[in-house]
Every structure is written in structure tokens, then in C-alpha cells.
Amino acid sequence: MSLLVVGSVAIDNVETPSERRDDLLGGSATHFSYSASFFTPVRLVGVVGDDFPKAHTDLLEGAGVDTEGLQRRAGGKTFTWTGRYLPNMNDRETLDVQLNVFGDFDPVVPESFKDARLVFLANGVPAVQAKVLAQAPHRKLVVADTMDLWITTHRADLDALMHNLDGLFLNDSEAKLLTGCENLVSAGEAVLDMGPRFVIVKKGEHGSMYFGRDAQGNPESYVLPAYPTREVIDPTGAGDSFAGGMMGYLSQCEHLTAKDLKTAMAYGTVVASFNVEGFGLERMTRLTREVIDERLDAYRRMLSI
Amino acid sequence: MSLLVVGSVAIDNVETPSERRDDLLGGSATHFSYSASFFTPVRLVGVVGDDFPKAHTDLLEGAGVDTEGLQRRAGGKTFTWTGRYLPNMNDRETLDVQLNVFGDFDPVVPESFKDARLVFLANGVPAVQAKVLAQAPHRKLVVADTMDLWITTHRADLDALMHNLDGLFLNDSEAKLLTGCENLVSAGEAVLDMGPRFVIVKKGEHGSMYFGRDAQGNPESYVLPAYPTREVIDPTGAGDSFAGGMMGYLSQCEHLTAKDLKTAMAYGTVVASFNVEGFGLERMTRLTREVIDERLDAYRRMLSI
């Protein structure tokens, strides 16, 4: 099934305890697209300035990402994020954000993308995310990511959006913020009551949790650990990469069963574990589906008791 | 195989955001013993004062814990710990510690315990833990728990002890403190180089990691998530309960293979998930091996991809 992603394309400057790298291709829709491209062609809707290097567009196109929906704003500058990771490589601080052309991003889905069945709304203003829905009339599965800023400042729009979602991604502290529940199981179930059919709570280096309902409508949940790696070079984009691997795999499934969703989460986990092994997309550009499948097998064996 | 545990038996006063409970039966050797007792008879070596209620001893005895090695110090008071859990129920602060008779605990293993094959040295002064080894000449597997205090103040003794251990339990921040490695995989492998044949890194609500070596001597590791529960009433003793479930299961295994160790970790995970569902041992006293096995099956299904 065809996969559409709408979200940020950015230039990242990343500082870690051992190194600083500037001008990396980043952005939530970028990490999502590249990760999903190992499973399926991807249609990308975003916006960049005329400073955006052609090499970046070529890299995405070369991976099977259709950039017809990537608006190029003349005279504008691309969204730029600069951040620093703390020694634990899990916590980070944002040093600078220049939204630039992403500040008034108005997503326009090209005609040729409108038959998309799977839609991922990468992190962004909820009202802007909502604008995509009417432009994807054949959507079968819509999944969105969100963040603390929108929970705090755009709650009504987010509440409205959640009723139109099949799935919602958010991290553990955001799930607690959104629901007021300190226990993650209770928080995940409370988010489920806000509209989405399923909720994925991301726990960074500690993995992720799934919340959904069984055939009888009772809540069910499970937790999957992250794939342990000692090569944590740059965690930027891990969450979007996780979503990309997950949605990429789902695009190959016909019925989107509970089993498909779990396998998709495992693929997302594994793809994200590669994403953190290099700055920006560096590790990803050396990755193959075969190597992903090898690590998925290792992950499966690791969890087989 | 017979199982011996040496460590603290205490009276706990526990405060959570919703409730305070005093005079709970606590202590690391207590939580370990009770958890292990679902799998095997347990021999307990510890010390209490003459204020220690007979009901507590009866509770342990009733569960199949042999208390012949529990010294009762006339005129002394039992070790008391008072702590408060923060709203996240994972972090806690110690409000008061009265070591009392545990302050100069000198473990004496009764003659009838000396044929023990499996030995667990619950958290304590490393030099005191080491005194047990000579008193367990038939030991086949010795596993110890430790903490940040001993890493900081008794490092030489801990280093010496580690060379005589088969396994070491410690939590994630302690593994980082002991090794200076921020990455947990690197930290776990570095602890392995300090002597133990295997290392278990406890991550609280995020599960645990195993580090060992394969047949060729190469390091191997895996991570298992905690069993998700919404009923986190009192996390006190979760780590010792985890160790108790693990060692209890291992006592039933003949060869202690890598597969046995992983199944044991899964049992430890499941037993610990029950332990946190009540104050002190409350949930545990209503537990049966059958219910443990049901949850183990659910855990196995959860991790089956």
C-alpha cells in the first residue's frame, strides 16, 4: 500500500560529548522517509528553502523517496535545528531553532500522491497535521506523532486530531503530560480513550510500548525493549526512524492485524537502532534490507524465552 | 540444588504518594527468600533484634524458608529502613536508616546449610559478603548484589569479591559508576572484565540486561523488559525479588546453561512484577507458582514476534 509522510525536512547541527557535526540532513519526515524506504516507495510532503542542497534531494530520491511534494520556497531558508546531547546520549538540549520556511508550512499533497493508503503525520502543529486528512481521501491508516509543546499550547486542536487518527506516537513523558497519569500503563490506556485505535509510547533507549484493544474491545498492551547497541553516535531522528520502519513494514501488509503491528514495531525498533549508529543518515545510507532482517532475527532470538 | 541467601532482614516503613505503611517485613534477604520459595526451599542467614515479631519468622517458615541461620540478638533492635517514593514510583528517598544489629552483622552459616550449591550474597559490605564463601565449600554458583555506597567507599574489597563471583547484580547507574562507561552495553561488558562470569544490570521499570560470554569467550548480551503492570503499589524489594525468582528457578536446573539463565531472568522479571503490586510482601503472600507460570506465559507471548 502506498505510503505518504508529511512533516519537517531540516538541516541539523549536532553536538555530542565526542564530536560536533554541522549541516546534516535532518527533520522528522526525512528520518521517517529514509527508514521506510527500505520497505516501500515513500511520498514526501514538506518544505525547504532555496539553500537546500541538491545532494540532499538526490539522496532521498536515490532511496526511492518521491520528493514531488517537497516545496522549494524561493528566497526562504530551510528549517535548522542545533542541539547537544548530554553524556548519557539520551537527554539533549536544543541550542538553537530556526523554523524559517517551516514556520508557516502549508502542506499541499500533489495529485499523484492522493491515492495514498497509509499516512504518517510527522510531528508538527496539530491544525497543520489535520489539513492533510482532507487531501488523502483514500487513507486507510493515519498515524501521527506529537510533542509536549502541542500538548501544552494547542491542546484543543490535538484533541480534535486524535479523534481522526488510527495511531498516535508520543514519548513517555508526553504520555504522562497528556493524561496526568504517572504510571505508563495507565497513561497509555488513557490516551487510547482520547480517540486513537492504537498508541505507541516511545521510551528512547528503553524501547516502546503498544496500547490497543482486543477483539472484545478490552485494552491490551505490551512492551518491547530497544535493540541494545554500544554504537550510540547520534540519537537524532530515532523516534521518526522507528515510525518509518514500522509504517514501511505495515505498507507491505494486507490486513494490518495485531500480529502485523507487533512485527512492524519490531522492525521499527531495529531500524531505529541503526539510525543512532551514525550522525544524521550516515549509518542509514550504508544499510540494506538484508542487514535489517539479520538484526530482526537477532532481536527475535534475544526475546525468545 | 540447595539455595542459600545471606543478607538483611529488616523492618520497613514505606511512604508512597497515596499511602504510608509502617512495620512491614522487609530487607533484601527477606524479599529474595520469599520470591525464591516459590521454586525451592531456601536457607536464610541474617540477623534480627529481639524486637523482631514472631509472626514475621512464622511467615517465612510457612513459605519454606529455613530460618535456622537467622541470628536473634538479645537486647538488640532489628535493622529499620524508612523511605518515600516520588510520584513516578521509580525514584525514592531514604528518610531514615537504623542499621542496629545489622551494623556489625557477622554471617555464620549453620552446619546444616553448608552443603548449599547456590549462594546469593544480598547487598551488604563486600568484606562481609566475602566471609560467606569459605562457609559454603560446596558452592557451585555464587551470585552477589551490590550498591553505589560500596563502589564508592569499599572498592578494593568489591574488586576482590568480584573475582570470586559467578554472577553480579547491580543497577544501571551503579554499572556506570563502577566502570565510568555511560553506554550500558559498554558498561556491562566492562563489569564482565572485572571477574564475574555473568552480570545482570537492573533497570527498574525498564527491565534488565544480561551480559555473559558465549562458548568462544566473546561477550554476549540481551535485554528483557519489565512485565508492565498498572498496579505499582510499593517497588521496595523488586530487585531482590527479581534475584530470588531467578536463583529459585536456577536451583531447579541441572546444568545452568545460557538458556536456563535466560528463562531464570524471565521468572525473576515476573516474580518482581508481583512483588511491586503490594506493600512489603502483601501481594507475595497471596501468590502461587501456578499464577507465576500464567504470567510467565503471558510474558513469553508478549515477547514473541
Choose the mutation target among A200, A222, A227, A301 for the interface with B, i.e. most B CBs under 10 Å.
A222
Range of the domain at A11: 3-302
* A66-89: average pLDDT: 96
Residue of B nearest to A204 (CA): B206
Q: Among all chains, which residue has been given the C-alpha cell 514472631?
A: B54
In tens, the pLDDT along A260-292 reads 999 999 999 999 999 999 999 999 999 999 999
In tens, the pLDDT along A108-124 reads 999 999 999 999 999 99
Residue B222 to residue A232, Cβ atoms within 8 A: no
Give Cα separations from A100 to A13, A29, A46, A49 (angstroms).
15, 16, 13, 8
What does the alpha-carbon distance between residue A262 and residue A221 come to, in Å, rounded to a whole number? 11
The confidence band for A230, taking pLDDT boundaries of 50, 70 and 90, is confident
Residue B183 to residue A304, Cβ atoms within 8 A: no
The structural domain count of chain A equals 1
The reported pLDDT for the residue numbered B230 is 87
Confirm if B19 and B236 have CB atoms less than 8 A apart: no
* A181-194: average pLDDT: 96
What does the alpha-carbon distance between residue A113 and residue B206 come to, in Å, rounded to a whole number? 40
Q: Give which of B46, B59, B187, B64 is closest to B122, Cα–Cα.
A: B46
The reported pLDDT for the residue numbered A90 is 84
The reported pLDDT for the residue numbered B90 is 84
CATH code assigned at B31: 3.40.1190.20
Number of helical H runs and strand E runs in chain A: 10, 13
In tens, the pLDDT along A16-28 reads 999 999 999 999 9
Contacts of B113 (CB under 8 A, 6+ apart): B2, B4, B43, B45, B66, B68, B69, B136
Residue A224 to residue B223, Cβ atoms within 8 A: no
The reported pLDDT for the residue numbered A303 is 97
Confirm if A223 and A207 have CB atoms less than 8 A apart: yes
State ipTM: 0.92
In tens, the pLDDT along A252-262 reads 999 889 999 99
Residue of A nearest to B173 (CA): A88
What does the alpha-carbon distance between residue B143 and residue B165 come to, in Å, rounded to a whole number? 6
What does the alpha-carbon distance between residue A297 and residue B4 come to, in Å, rounded to a whole number? 38
The reported pLDDT for the residue numbered B173 is 96
Comparing CB atoms, the residue among B203, B223, B230 nearest residue A186 is B230
Ranges of residues in chain B with a pLDDT under 50 are none
Confirm if B240 and B261 have CB atoms less than 8 A apart: no
The answer for B100, left when phi > 0, alpha when psi is -120 to 50, beta otherwise, is: left
The confidence band for A83, taking pLDDT boundaries of 50, 70 and 90, is very high
Share of chain A above pLDDT 90, in %: 96
Q: Which helix (H) or strand (E) holds A283?
A: none
* A234-258: average pLDDT: 96
C-alpha cell at A83: 542541539
What does the alpha-carbon distance between residue B296 and residue B227 come to, in Å, rounded to a whole number? 9
Residue B88 to residue A182, Cβ atoms within 8 A: yes
